[in-house]
Amino acid sequence: MVLWALGIGPGDEVIIPANTFIATAWGATLCGATPVFVDCQPESYNIDPAKVEAKITPRTKAIVAVHLYGQPADMDPLNEIARKHKIALVEDCAQSHFAEYKGKRTGGLSMASSYSFYPGKNLGAYGEGGAVATNDAELARKFKMIRDHGAEKKYYHEVYGHNYRMEGIQGAVLGVKLRHLGAWTEARRRNAALYNAALKGIPGVVTPQEMPYAKHVYHLYVIRAPRRDDLQKHLEAKGVATGLHYPVPLHVQNAFKHLGYKEGDFPVTEKAAREILSLPMFPELTAEQIAYVAGAIREFYS
Ligand SMILES: *Cc1c(COP(=O)(O)O)cnc(C)c1O
């Protein structure tokens, strides 16, 4: 909806990190535009600003910054590139509710942003939900029309729109849960610190790095681990559920075969896909549970 309201359409290109959930790219394809992928930084797993400019063509209309795993992307250099080339910069905040970049919350670091309230997100509804945000009055007006069949006034349709209205019941649930999000965010950060300490010194295991500009909200706690697949099996046998975010980078997904990318195009993202493992992370995790998971990992490598 953000890209649509910006007027992005067929023939246009939208710059998107190769390392994200596929929905980021669907935003471009839904508008008829082409996603153009960019590699990530090895430390933050977010889009590498130094690799963006080489992807800009006369058709480029926007850059989508994704704050992956709950850590903000490096927005200042991205904003600079967007300004210089007169293209839009927008944010995918599906994983970054309450995350901060240089003391400012994500979602307000660009002209417009999108949120997901899928039940598994840091702020989750009891079903599907989402939102867009902007400080631009004209964009806000377009959002309100697009979400409601293109009408500002009922039955007077100004533009092409859809039904993107969220169910009222989800809003009621989210309104209550939002009051707890601050405490839940701090609990996630405390859990991440416990993991970091408990995993220290295990050879080859790399814990998440909170970048100097970031307040990370740990939607996911992602480590790098040697012999990752065997470690995952070991943890499963110990009753520990883990995940891969994401096992297949976007440029090598079958759904994007027609774009012509190949294995080797984005080595940092591809290496991460082979090494990453998401450990259990949610506010209610206990110190004992974290110690159990870390103990099982230590046991595997010894
Ligand atoms: C979950 C997610 C989305 C999509 O959100 P839905 O509400 O499931 O459509 C988009 N981008 C990222 C990075 C996500 O994690």
Question: pLDDT tens digits, residue range 236-259?
Answer: 999 999 999 999 999 999 999 999
Q: At what angle do helices 287-301 and 228-237 cross, to 10 degrees?
A: 130
Look up the CATH number of the domain holding residue 173.
3.40.640.10
Nearest partner of 268 among 24, 14, 9, 39, judged by Cα: 39
Instruction: Show Cβ contacts of residue 126 under 8 Å, excluding neighbours closer than 6 positions.
Output: 119, 169, 170, 173
129 and 14 housed in the same domain: yes
The pLDDT, as a whole number, for residue 273 is 98
- For residue 219, name the pLDDT band (cuts at 50, 70, 90): very high
The residue to mutate among 1, 21, 45, having the most atoms of ligand 1 within 8 angstroms of its beta carbon, is 21
The pLDDT, as a whole number, for residue 281 is 98
40 and 138 housed in the same domain: yes
154 and 199 housed in the same domain: no
- Copy the structure tokens of residue 123: 């702020």
- For residue 146, name the pLDDT band (cuts at 50, 70, 90): very high
The pLDDT, as a whole number, for residue 5 is 97
The pLDDT, as a whole number, for residue 280 is 98
Å from CA of 58 to ligand 1 middle:
28
The pLDDT, as a whole number, for residue 63 is 98
142 and 30 housed in the same domain: yes
161 and 192 housed in the same domain: no
196 and 84 housed in the same domain: no
Read off the pLDDT of each residue in 163-172 and give the average, rounded to a whole number: 95
State how many domains the chain has: 2
Read off the pLDDT of each residue in 167-188 and give the average, rounded to a whole number: 97
153 and 296 housed in the same domain: no
The pLDDT, as a whole number, for residue 244 is 98
Look up the CATH number of the domain holding residue 264.
3.90.1150.10
Å from CA of 94 to ligand 1 middle:
5
117 and 157 housed in the same domain: yes
The pLDDT, as a whole number, for residue 86 is 98
Å from CA of 116 to ligand 1 middle:
5
Instruction: Show Cβ contacts of residue 246 under 8 Å, excluding neighbours closer than 6 positions.
Output: 19, 20, 21, 273
- Domain range for residue 111? 2-177
The pLDDT, as a whole number, for residue 296 is 98
Å from CA of 122 to ligand 1 middle:
12
30 and 167 housed in the same domain: yes
Read off the pLDDT of each residue in 4-15 and give the average, rounded to a whole number: 97
Rounded CA-CA distance 302/297 in Å is 9
41 and 143 housed in the same domain: yes
63 and 131 housed in the same domain: yes
Question: pLDDT > 90: what percent of the chain?
Answer: 100
Q: The dihedral of CA 92, 95, 100, 101: what is its sign?
A: negative
Tokens 């209309």, located at residue: 61
The pLDDT, as a whole number, for residue 233 is 98
Question: Of 153, 177, 201, which residue is a domain's last?
Answer: 177
pLDDT in tens, 108-137: 999 999 999 999 999 999 999 999 999 999
The pLDDT, as a whole number, for residue 159 is 94
* Residues within 6 Å of ligand 1 by CB: 20-21, 23-24, 66, 92, 94-95, 116, 118, 130
51 and 103 housed in the same domain: yes
The pLDDT, as a whole number, for residue 238 is 98
Question: Of 125, 160, 177, which residue is a domain's last?
Answer: 177
Question: Of 177, 194, 217, which residue is a domain's last?
Answer: 177
The pLDDT, as a whole number, for residue 272 is 98
CA distance between the termini of the chain = 50
The pLDDT, as a whole number, for residue 136 is 96
The pLDDT, as a whole number, for residue 288 is 98
